[in-house]
Amino acid sequence: MLAIAGDDPVAKSSTFPTASELAFYDLGFPLLFPGNVQEVLDLGRLGFELSRYSGCWVGFKIVTNVSDEVGTAEVAPDRIVIADPGFEHEGKPWRATHGMVGFPPWGLEMERELVYGRLEAARAFATANRLNRITVDTPGAWLGITAAGKTYHDLREALRALGLDDDALRRHGVRLLQVRMLFPLAPGLVRAFARGLEELLVIEEKRSF
């Protein structure tokens, strides 16, 4: 199940600028953030599989400049191959169930399963299927830059305008991390990205998240 939020961070067609990350976090929804037409299709497919595997509703954040975008996308049926995370919960292979009732005394048990079961299953799914990835893996880098969704693609466009393609970024000691699933993050990937860096720059759309 995907819950789609239309965010307008620059108030292009809204009275106020909007950002839905904190709302999805409070609801306990894993959150995907596509940054272009291709990622809307790819992450849409992955989002349904993530929801099916974890048992969670999955947030899907689309900003104005993506919803208004026109582009070309690849749609081959075998483009997305889903990897099995092999996640275990309480010593058993994970299997999402939906039999609980959302009122006392079962509500507390549902909360425990969400935090320690479903969200951890979502984290394992994200790792196995590389929803977040180091896109420029520079050995011995001193600077790491990370951004999510449309902001990541804006970052890459700005770097290209400065003459900094992947090879130039490596020469200058820069490492990049693309975040397509904002929550929950996998600590192992973040540690691998940050290892050995002197500075870490996080570029965000609105409030820090």
pLDDT digits (tens, 9 = 90+) for 120-164: 999 999 999 999 999 999 999 999 999 999 999 999 999 999 999
Instruction: Give the model's confidence band at 101: pLDDT under 50 very low, under 70 low, under 90 confident, else very high.
Output: low
pLDDT digits (tens, 9 = 90+) for 169-190: 999 999 999 999 999 999 999 9
DSSP-based three-state secondary structure for 80: coil
Domain count, the chain: 2
Find the mean pLDDT for residues 73-92: 92
Q: Which of 124, 153, 181 is the last residue of a domain?
A: 124
CB atoms within 10 A of CB 78: 5
Q: The domain containing residue 112 runs over which residues?
A: 2-124
116 and 23 within one domain: yes
Residue 55 has what pLDDT?
A: 94
Contact 43, 111 (CB under 8 A): no
Cα(33)–Cα(40) distance, integer angstroms: 8
Provide the phi-psi class of 113: left if phi over 0, else alpha when psi is between -120 and 50, else beta: alpha
Residue 208 lies in a domain: no
